[in-house]
Chain A
């Protein structure tokens, strides 16, 4: 007997598919097409083959890629370390814990751009808090303009990125820690295991999958990050904070070279699909392992 196809589940997908296909998938395909053209402010658009891609690598694009990954590496690593420490503190059963939980989240809640406005004042050399306190404590000889020099601007953008990203990592890992059965800790405690030993041998192994998941997600978000660098430095001084996203934006929208910008965007998509593949592989592995345990 032939079964009739049930259209109901497909119909339920229509709104989501329509929205995502129009706003995300179509521009995605259009990016690939544009990357083979010389589209710009001019009216005529010609296909130019791989010219844009060849030109990218004649620029300092390799340097931009390396810089992006260094930026991402430090940002993600510090967020994970601070997030894990934060989660341990958030998990500690001491009075005042709930207040602490409330006060840790604001960087994630407020609009990213507004948090960055506040940081740009903090980094001000003449009048900002960091330079001011640094001088008072004798760490700095005089006013220091953090965003005016390549290496300090690079570090400053990482610090702001860490500030915005850490609360979510901490809260996510806290959730993972709270899902650990209490019996495990009690068993270890009865055996006389110290608190640190319990953390190392019970907590860490059990939240390791969550840390891995968060590391990948955080890497993707950090890789895609635009507002922080754009508002603080616009990729400067002299390109020292120009990541791939900023580079694409500058080429495509600030200089109106849509074609070249699109070629850069395609390069970003290549890296992103590598992350996506890693993420899916990780999810599959975790699901399988959980399945094997139960």
Chain B
């Protein structure tokens, strides 16, 4: 059969997977190993992978060294959730407008969104700082949520638009004949049908917002209580003497929630990529 592999083909595939996974997972494995060592044993020469004095004590002591760890994890989730909600409330109507109506300036506007998508947040950070300063939003959740959402709106519009385009127009025409208003049609007829697409956009927005909180927090926020996880740990990382075992333990505990979310929702993520629009 076509999908049948010889033994040497199978060997090559599994060997390839092994090499690939070694590269991908090595930093996680190393972080885990470091987190299990007592600090004086972390700095040991020559290098040893497994030693006999390993323990989970760093997972206990890290809550004292990083007292706000729980807060950081919460902040990361909270910021990403707000970004996702705000972005969706911009994306859905805009994508609906772009996919269902033809009007003057539509393609130009769509092109503008596409072009804005190319600009990375780091390039604009100086005037964005001034903007946040003038709006009085520095050191607040807003300073991290608003830019996060703004930079994910263009990609979201493209992704959502491609879903709306697949929904047959007859659906709206039928609603229109029945005398439904257009807002009602969008809310009660189109959105339920587009729900899988909305899920995909929501999850990809959430993940990219979660992955990219560092810069906005670094520049716009100096209130430790509001820091998302990466920024909270970065402060810890910048100290003279880095407590590596606890930093690695805190990193691993900190990323566990998002990894669980990913494992449960991964089929939506794959579907999102298949739809043709992606975001790093």
Contact = CB atoms under 8 A, between A and B. Distances in A.
Name the prevailing secondary structure of the B interface residues. Answer: helix
A203 B131 CA distance: 48
A211 interface: no
Interface stretch (B25-33, B51-59, B60-68, B165-173): B25-33
A273 B251 CA distance: 37
Contacts of A17: 94, 109
Given A12-B96, A115-B27, A19 B149 contact: yes
Interface in A88-117: 89, 92-94, 96, 100-115, 117
B195 interface: no
A23 B93 contact: no
Interface stretch (A54-62, A66-74, A126-134): A126-134
A23 B154 contact: no
Interface in A150-199: 163, 165-168, 171-172, 174-175, 178-179, 185-186, 189, 195
Contacts of A139: none
Nearest to B31: A118
Given A86-B20, A253-B125, A253-B219, A19 B86 contact: yes
A226 B86 CA distance: 25
B96 A111 contact: no
A99 B97 CA distance: 40
Interface string B3-31: 10100011001101100110111111011
A39 B273 CA distance: 43
Contact of B212 (A109, A112, A126): A112
Interface in A15-47: 15-17, 19-20, 22-28, 30-31, 34
Contacts of B280: 108, 165, 168, 217, 221
B151 interface: yes
A279 interface: yes
A127 B234 contact: no
A272 interface: yes
A8 B9 contact: no
B90 A16 contact: yes
B266 A168 contact: no
A20 B229 CA distance: 26
27 contacts: A8-B101, A12-B93, A13-B98, A16-B93, A22-B150, A24-B119, A27-B131, A28-B119, A31-B127, A108-B280, A109-B210, A109-B259, A111-B229, A114-B255, A118-B251, A121-B27, A126-B43, A127-B43, A163-B23, A163-B24, A172-B273, A221-B120, A224-B121, A252-B125, A252-B126, A269-B119, A276-B114
Given A6-B103, A226-B122, 20 more contacts: A9-B101, A9-B106, A13-B97, A16-B93, A19-B150, A23-B146, A27-B127, A94-B5, A100-B21, A112-B211, A113-B234, A118-B27, A120-B237, A126-B43, A127-B45, A129-B30, A220-B120, A223-B120, A248-B122, A268-B123
Interface of B: 2-3, 5, 9-10, 13-14, 16-17, 20-21, 23-28, 30-31, 34, 42-49, 76, 86, 89-91, 93-94, 96-98, 100-101, 103, 106, 109, 111, 113-116, 118-131, 146-147, 149-151, 153-154, 157, 182, 207, 210-215, 219, 228-231, 233-234, 237, 244, 247-248, 251, 254-255, 258-259, 262-263, 266, 269-270, 273-274, 278, 280
